[in-house]
Structure 1
Amino acid sequence: MHRISRDAAGKPSLIAWEGDGNPSPIGLDQLSEEVQALRVRRPSFRESWLREGAGARRERRGSDRFVEVPWDEAFELVAGELNRVITTHGNNSIFGGSYGWGSAGRFHHAQSQIHRFLNAIGGYVKGRDSYSFGAGSVIMPHIAAPMEELLDQHTDWNTLAAHNELFVAFGGIPLRNTQMTAGGPSRHRVREALDQMRARGVRFVNISPLKQDIDGAAEWLPIRPGSDVALILALLHVLISENLDDRKFLSRYCVGGEQVKRYVLGEKDGQSKTPEWASAITGVPAHRIIELARDMGRSLTMINASWSLQRQSHGEQAYWAIVTLASHIGQIGQPGGGFGIGYGTLNSVGSSELRLSGPRLSQGSNPVEQFIPVARIADALLEPGARFDYDGGTYEYPDIRLVYWAGGNPYHHHQDLNRFISAWRKPETIIVHEQFWTSSAKAADIVLPASTTLERNDIGFASREGQMVAMRKLQEPLADAKSDFDIFGGITRCMGKEGEFTEGRTAEEWLENIYEDFRQRNTTLVALPGFCEFWEAGRLEIQTPNKPTIMFERFRADPERHPLKTPSGRIELYSERIASFGYDDCPGQATWLEPLEWLGSQKTARFPLHLLSQEPSRRLHSQLDHSPHSRSGKVMGREPILLNPKDAIARGIADGDVVRVFNDRGACLASAQLSGDLLDGVAIIATGAWFDPTDWALTNSLEKHGNPNVVTIDAPASKLSQATVAQSCLVDVELFVGELPAVTAFDLPKFAAEDTARSKSPRV
């Protein structure tokens, strides 16, 4: 959370809130010249689209000139295009894309705004699940509970400090991820929580290729990426064969324990999942697997999996295996024990603050039933009419003619970006709302300038963060920028749908409306003042409950009165429902399935390094990559790639060298950083560098800035979830030789003179 400070001349700046003992520096430079220079200032239309019509010269997306037009004309053009597409092809030809960056406020939440708008004009094809934990979203309701419920119910840090003895972290607990919470964090608590746990004698084990994935003292077990399931099965083998498993817990609270036992002991497939078997796959010594299993069975143990663990080939199996392991230890529902699937991913996970359903803008009703799993957007654009499996059903990709995107950057979060360029050329029209000239904005047909958080009033709130903030406008919108609400209001006015969208309320009236609705919904949980009193105060502290949060505590106390939402009402270690789907890539229990790409693959003969694309520490995803804070972390203007010195020396690479990272899907440039705290054979690049191809007209040109999604694979985790597998990626790295191309990610697009373009436009 940020606070406004002004100098003697009244010039504003952002500083960290004094109530936060470990504030994040991300976003403090939002008012800098570097950030403001990249603003989208006026409605901008791709020249070929404006001059020749929808669908014209789509290969020029990303490199075409733009024409700035006034808002009244922009509203008419956008409304006309939406009416054309709806009349000709129907609302199921419109894809409403949004990742909705939650820190923007609860009213000016782009995802809520765009979905409400599209529903007001007849509906749209939606994206389902998320890139963050798409596989988890689909698998967890089958075996334990919906992902969103689990994230809100994690045992709180204070309880862990008081009771936990052993914290085993698959994928670590990286503090870089805990700088944020959807809706906005208040006090950053995770570093202090880990320190408190260590002070009380908790032992941490970091199972990750990178030692720094846990901040502070921890035992490091380096593991080959993508092999966690094999390690977990071997831990189960030790527990079962040495009678350390809790069979009473398995009998009362779980179904499928016998199927797990038969598989682990090799009775189902002839392969016993011994520590020696797992060691050959994971690289973890067999004796350490045995020691760890015994420690886990005899300690009060919390087992945590990062979200990265399920962003891989067969990612569902990792979460299923984690729950299976915790069930065999038998401490689920007890203070200090059990499992987690989110510690170290968000600041709010593990919070002891009150869980409340926050203020929200109703999105209305969507009459269009078709959807796309979000990570399959390229498949949908490239293969309209093709059929796909998803969570037990079979569906058909719609024929998308228009993409409308507000809140998000698909050229950041999607995989195999060269393939995505081809897919992005398929729609006739692409409309985006943007604050800055990102790669997605440059590759759009229509770019409508959105105001920033500092240029509008809103309400800041996140469940389990302990406060609500009046986000008062600091300054007027830059140039012709407008809020998403005002943009959609202008378009619906031209379409005769303004009443359906605004309901006759201004933005300020909506703020009061959603606040009062929030207050009434939560009146039995917390006493809140009226809106005017809240707005005057500026910030509300929400009283922390005295009762600790313990995941599945009520289920443990009485599984008959408090069953889970699974088909059996219990934890499903074997799922009859999933088994009935007949998926070869997602069987009915946690299973070791070889990833598409990993260090045990024959593909390592050509691409011997496993590339991981982790969350960045200097920005939120790709947001504010152009800020001084983010750019100061680059080397020679490019995103760093972390390499083990052995791998670097073998390739003649020194620290700071610019290198080419490549596979059959593409190549990008990055700057080498060497560390012995990274498992050899593994490389890491943070995500979020704005996509910067050498030539947008090509679909396989060199990317100059260090965006790892140029080389990641665009394939589904399984037929069950269709989620991303970004962490299953093999590459090679070589020293870049030749003239170093300039980074142009932060250059503005070219603009055509308005009168020149419009004089030849069929739309004027």
Structure 2
Amino acid sequence: ANGENQSRSIFTLAAVTGNIGVPGGGTGGWTTSYAMPLPTFPDLAEKPITVGIPVFKWSDAVDHGEKFTAKRDGVEGADRLHVGIKFMISYAANTIMNQHADPDRIREILADESKLETLVVIDTLMTASAKMADYILPDAMSVEQPDLVKNEDSGETGYAIYAQPAIDPPGDAKPVYEILCEILERLDPAALERFTEGHTQQEWVSQMYSEGRSEHPEYPTEEEFAQQGVIREINPDGFTVPFKDFRDDPQANPLETPSGKIEIYSEQLATMAEEWEFDPDLTGDRITALPEYVESWEGSEEAAASSEYPLQCIDHHTKGRTHSSYWEQPWIMEAHPQHVWMNPVDAEARGLSTDERIQVTSRRGAIRSLAFVTGRIAPGVISIPQGAWYSPGDDGVDDGACASTLASLNATPVAKGNTQQQIIAQVKRI
């Protein structure tokens, strides 16, 4: 619930030990950050919308967006909102229900059609989020359309993939580019021309690669690229060390802070702490100028004092899927069934062993899953592999064992981000 302070404390530790701008300094910055210099699909030159909200607050903006203010809810570009979200498009993201918090509450919010009037989901599968949509537009999968794919700042070796359709999209599915073109053709043909600039998707791929190759003639021709599929190159500037330029010459390479320096005490945050509004009912819902430890709602102190919810619950990534992608594949589920990790001390106290059916309950909801008893997790803590698909049974208990079912919609104080690692819970045998 105070994740900003945890992140700041890591950076502060690197600062006070003199480890800024050195290899392995532990600043939290990317140590690998090279992407091949190829252009991407051009963005709109002018954005008609200038007001924004933190992404985690979307469900609150549907529920009571007309009450949103800059100093309470993190509205950007305006002092307040004057209306809640009425129309929403979710593209390639199982985040409406699955990767957001408290899907039981989200179902209640979306059921009230006086709030969000229309939800459009564009996706390739009938996800938990797609089931809530008013309209579903079936997208083509990556193996069903042309594309130029490149890594984005995620390694010292950059790469690009010349994607080509291996099969045609089934049924009415089509690439999202074509979906948007057909919508614009019906709504605003002039906007269609501005959007496409007269190009098909394949023509965009060819143009973007041609522009990149004009700057780097050592790259293969498009025909050669299409034949080999992938091109790679190592960062010509060598290994990336975050903040090395700042360490070498802090005057010439100031940081993106008001002072240009490392700010352990933040005057910006001190001002926000005085001016912003916080929920008085949420323990620890406050901003600190220094990265202090702040006792928060549903933290370790509350778990230790609770007989009803004595366990801290976190979630983790599992090798069986990428976030929530591929969860629906039966043979992957067989190889990597959903298990709740718990320490032998906690399992023995509840008479549990590995593979027994259990129910995990928090103040928001409950899931059914299997126990995995292991000494590789601390006593008093359980962990659930995130990304399993939300699937409530007739009694409201989530048989999909989605970790988000247990999580709160309360946001962090600074970024108004998700707090899905802050849950207290109880486990019992089914």
TM-score by length of 1: 0.51
Distance 1:340 1:633 in 2: 37
Identify the match of residue 655 of structure 1 among 354, 360, 371: 354
Q: Please name the residue that 1:614 is paired with.
A: 316
- Aligned pairs for 1:454-533 (under 5 A) are 454-463=143-152, 464=155, 465-497=157-189, 498-519=192-213, 523=215, 527-533=218-224
| Preserved CA contact (<8 Å) 1:468 1:542 | no
1:597 aligns with 2:298: yes
CA deviation string 1:296-351 (max 9, x = no partner): xxxxxxxxxxxxxxxxx111101111111111101211234x22426xxxxxx544
Q: Flag the 1:456–1:574 CA change in 2: closer, same or farther, 3 A.
A: same
CA deviation string 1:271-315 (max 9, x = no partner): xxxxxxxxxxxxxxxxxxxxxxxxxxxxxxxxxxxxxxxxxx111
1:339 aligns with 2:20: no
Amino acid at match of 1:457: P
Q: Flag the 1:432–1:567 CA change in 2: closer, same or farther, 3 A.
A: same
1:370 aligns with 2:370: no
Amino acid at match of 2:42: S
- Aligned pairs for 1:269-418 (under 5 A) are 313-336=1-24, 338-341=25-28, 350-351=31-32, 354-364=34-44, 365-388=46-69, 389=71, 394-396=79-81, 398-410=83-95, 411-418=97-104
| Preserved CA contact (<8 Å) 2:321 2:327 | yes
Amino acid at match of 2:49: V
Q: Please name the residue that 2:281 is paired with.
A: none
| Preserved CA contact (<8 Å) 1:358 1:462 | no
Amino acid at match of 1:735: R
Higher helix share: 1
CA deviation string 1:152-198 (max 9, x = no partner): xxxxxxxxxxxxxxxxxxxxxxxxxxxxxxxxxxxxxxxxxxxxxxx
1:586 aligns with 2:287: yes
User: How big is the shift at 1:694?
Assistant: 1.5
Sequence identity of aligned pairs in percent?
27
Query: What SS does the aligned partner of 1:621 have?
Result: coil
Q: Please name the residue that 1:674 is paired with.
A: 373
Amino acid at match of 2:322: L
| Preserved CA contact (<8 Å) 2:358 2:428 | yes
Q: Flag the 1:458–1:614 CA change in 2: closer, same or farther, 3 A.
A: same
Q: Please name the residue that 1:42 is paired with.
A: none
Distance 2:9 2:399 in 1: 39
Query: What SS does the aligned partner of 2:66 have?
Result: coil
- Aligned pairs for 1:734-753 (under 5 A) are 734-736=428-430
Higher deviation after alignment, 534-543 or 706-715: 534-543
Identify the match of residue 705 of structure 1 among 400, 412, 421: 400
Amino acid at match of 1:592: Y
Q: Flag the 1:564–1:519 CA change in 2: closer, same or farther, 3 A.
A: farther
| Preserved CA contact (<8 Å) 1:383 1:397 | no
| Preserved CA contact (<8 Å) 1:381 1:423 | yes
CA deviation string 1:484-542 (max 9, x = no partner): 0111111111112321322221111111122234445xx37x84344344334422222
| Preserved CA contact (<8 Å) 2:51 2:75 | no
Amino acid at match of 1:333: G
Query: What SS does the aligned partner of 1:734 have?
Result: strand
Q: How many equivalent residue pairs?
A: 405
User: How big is the shift at 1:693?
Assistant: 0.9
| Preserved CA contact (<8 Å) 1:380 1:397 | no
Runs of 4+ in 1 over 6 A off after TM superposition: none
Q: Please name the residue that 2:326 is paired with.
A: 624
Query: What SS does the aligned partner of 1:632 have?
Result: helix
User: How big is the shift at 1:358?
Assistant: 4.3
Identify the match of residue 412 of structure 2 among 704, 717, 726: 717
Q: Flag the 1:423–1:516 CA change in 2: closer, same or farther, 3 A.
A: farther
Q: Flag the 1:731–1:675 CA change in 2: closer, same or farther, 3 A.
A: same
1:567 aligns with 2:268: no
Q: Please name the residue that 2:110 is paired with.
A: 424
Greater CA radius of gyration, 1 or 2? 1
User: How big is the shift at 1:578?
Assistant: 1.6
| Preserved CA contact (<8 Å) 2:11 2:28 | no
Distance 2:141 2:329 in 1: 14
Q: Flag the 1:546–1:360 CA change in 2: closer, same or farther, 3 A.
A: closer
Distance 2:184 2:59 in 1: 29
Distance 2:40 2:316 in 1: 31
Distance 1:527 1:386 in 2: 56
Q: Flag the 1:357–1:412 CA change in 2: closer, same or farther, 3 A.
A: farther
Amino acid at match of 2:13: L
1:553 aligns with 2:238: no
Amino acid at match of 2:54: P
Amino acid at match of 2:313: L
Identify the match of residue 426 of structure 2 among 721, 726, 732: 732
Q: Flag the 1:516–1:398 CA change in 2: closer, same or farther, 3 A.
A: farther
| Preserved CA contact (<8 Å) 1:370 1:398 | no
Distance 2:75 2:176 in 1: 37
Query: What SS does the aligned partner of 1:447 have?
Result: strand
Amino acid at match of 1:486: E
RMSD: 2.2
| Preserved CA contact (<8 Å) 1:457 1:472 | yes
Q: Please name the residue that 1:84 is paired with.
A: none
Distance 1:546 1:447 in 2: 45
User: How big is the shift at 1:614?
Assistant: 1.2
Query: What SS does the aligned partner of 2:116 have?
Result: coil
Q: Flag the 1:594–1:519 CA change in 2: closer, same or farther, 3 A.
A: farther
1:439 aligns with 2:119: no
Distance 2:8 2:166 in 1: 47
User: How big is the shift at 1:652?
Assistant: 2.0
Amino acid at match of 2:9: A
Distance 1:397 1:688 in 2: 34
Q: Flag the 1:514–1:729 CA change in 2: closer, same or farther, 3 A.
A: same
Q: Please name the residue that 2:233 is paired with.
A: 542
Distance 1:665 1:501 in 2: 43
| Preserved CA contact (<8 Å) 2:384 2:403 | yes
Q: Flag the 1:404–1:596 CA change in 2: closer, same or farther, 3 A.
A: same
User: How big is the shift at 1:391?
Assistant: 6.0
User: How big is the shift at 1:654?
Assistant: 1.9
Query: What SS does the aligned partner of 2:254 have?
Result: coil
Q: Flag the 1:613–1:354 CA change in 2: closer, same or farther, 3 A.
A: closer
Amino acid at match of 1:503: E
Amino acid at match of 1:373: P
Q: Flag the 1:423–1:391 CA change in 2: closer, same or farther, 3 A.
A: closer
Distance 1:499 1:587 in 2: 50
User: How big is the shift at 1:363?
Assistant: 2.9
- Aligned pairs for 1:239-250 (under 5 A) are none
Q: Flag the 1:566–1:507 CA change in 2: closer, same or farther, 3 A.
A: same
- Aligned pairs for 1:130-209 (under 5 A) are none
